[in-house]
């Protein structure tokens, strides 16, 4: 079993992914961590020194390398991963992959991202809650077509990461 979590940044893919991996007794992989290892620099530095196009290229290659592994795992992707290149089709066409979309309300994403925007290159320039909400709202609209192709959609709402992880596991069986 290969479980791939998709969703907007701040939806809890990494936090929930670790818990899902623990519940299923599988290794956890974080695509951003794997990209940082491959390139040898933090994501923010990749964006600032090499640009988003370079990042997306490496992201796509790294994703395909992970999907090709002959092992089971839980993978947390980046928020934009399924929306660029052929990453989504690679996920959809890999045998044994279950794609789960962590669907989080705009207001919750906005609150989470405004408090940690310095850590996230795509939103570091946004200073107010209104700017963040508008930016995220537009992105969610643009990306929903990709996200909704997941075989399971988990509404995260106000649930704790533990509750969301249990919903994810239940959706797999």
Tell whether residue 79 is among the known ligand binding residues.
yes
Tell whether residue 115 is among the known ligand binding residues.
no
Residue 69 phi, psi (nearest 5): -60, 140
Tell whether residue 120 is among the known ligand binding residues.
yes
Give the Cα separation of 67 and 79 in Å (integer): 17
Tell whether residue 13 is among the known ligand binding residues.
yes
Tokens of 153: 């959609």
- Cα torsion 62, 137, 171, 20 to 10°: value is 50
Tell whether residue 144 is among the known ligand binding residues.
no
Tell whether residue 86 is among the known ligand binding residues.
no
Give the Cα separation of 118 and 105 in Å (integer): 21
Tell whether residue 12 is among the known ligand binding residues.
yes
Tell whether residue 112 is among the known ligand binding residues.
no
Tell whether residue 80 is among the known ligand binding residues.
no
Tell whether residue 96 is among the known ligand binding residues.
no
User: What residue numbers does the annotated binding site for Mg(2+) cover?
Assistant: 14
User: What residue numbers does the annotated binding site cover?
Assistant: 10-15, 32, 56, 79, 120, 143
User: What residue numbers does the annotated binding site for substrate cover?
Assistant: 32, 56, 79, 143
């Amino acid at each position: 079993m290969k479980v791939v979590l998709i969703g907007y940044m701040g939806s809890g893919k990494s936090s929930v992914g670790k818990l899902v991996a623990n519940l299923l007794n599988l290794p956890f992989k974080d695509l951003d961590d794997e990209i940082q290892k491959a390139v040898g620099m933090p994501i923010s530095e990749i964006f600032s020194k090499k640009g988003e196009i370079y990042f997306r290229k490496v992201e796509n290659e790294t994703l395909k390398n992970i999907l090709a592994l002959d092992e089971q795992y839980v993978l947390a992707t980046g928020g934009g991963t399924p929306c660029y290149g052929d990453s989504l089709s690679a996920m959809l066409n890999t045998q044994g992959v279950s794609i789960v979309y962590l669907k989080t309300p705009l207001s919750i994403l906005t609150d989470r991202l405004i408090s940690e925007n310095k850590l996230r290159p795509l939103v570091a320039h946004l200073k107010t809650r209104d700017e963040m909400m508008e930016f995220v709202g537009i992105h969610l609209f643009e990306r929903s077509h990709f996200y909704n192709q997941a075989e399971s959609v988990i509404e995260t709402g106000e649930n704790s990461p533990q509750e969301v992880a249990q919903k994810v596991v239940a959706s797999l069986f």
